[in-house]
Amino acid sequence: MKIGLLVNTDNNLKDIIGITKEALSRGHEVSIFTMDSGTRLLENGEYSGLCRLEGVKMAFCSHSAGKEGVGTSLVPRHITCGSQFDNALMSNESDVVIVL
């Protein structure tokens, strides 16, 4: 199963980490798309470090990051700097999408 996480706020870091790790432990893939105020989490190493876990794919909306004033120069290269197209791809490819 492929689980999509749409992260559009910066309020649920512990939940995002917990859901991701639990899904991986059950053999699922996780795709995370970050937008709006959720892009602030990209500056948190615990959040951005999820991209290094096998089975996790991450992308973020560059427009949202710019609007939120998020510095993206230190975002790991494994996280795709993208657009709402990446959100649409995640939604299409996922069996279920959880919005946080």
Q: What are the extents of the domains in the chain?
A: 2-99
- The residues of the chain scoring below 70 in pLDDT are none
Strand segments, DSSP code E, in 1-100 are: 2-7, 29-34, 56-61, 79-82, 96-99
For 2-99, CATH gives 3.40.1260.10
pTM above 0.75, yes or no: yes
Q: Which residues pair with 27 in a beta bridge?
A: none
* Predicted pLDDT at 99: 98
What are 48-66's pLDDT values in tens digits? 999 999 999 999 999 999 9
* Predicted pLDDT at 74: 85
CA–CA distance, 69 with 71 (Å, rounded to integer): 6
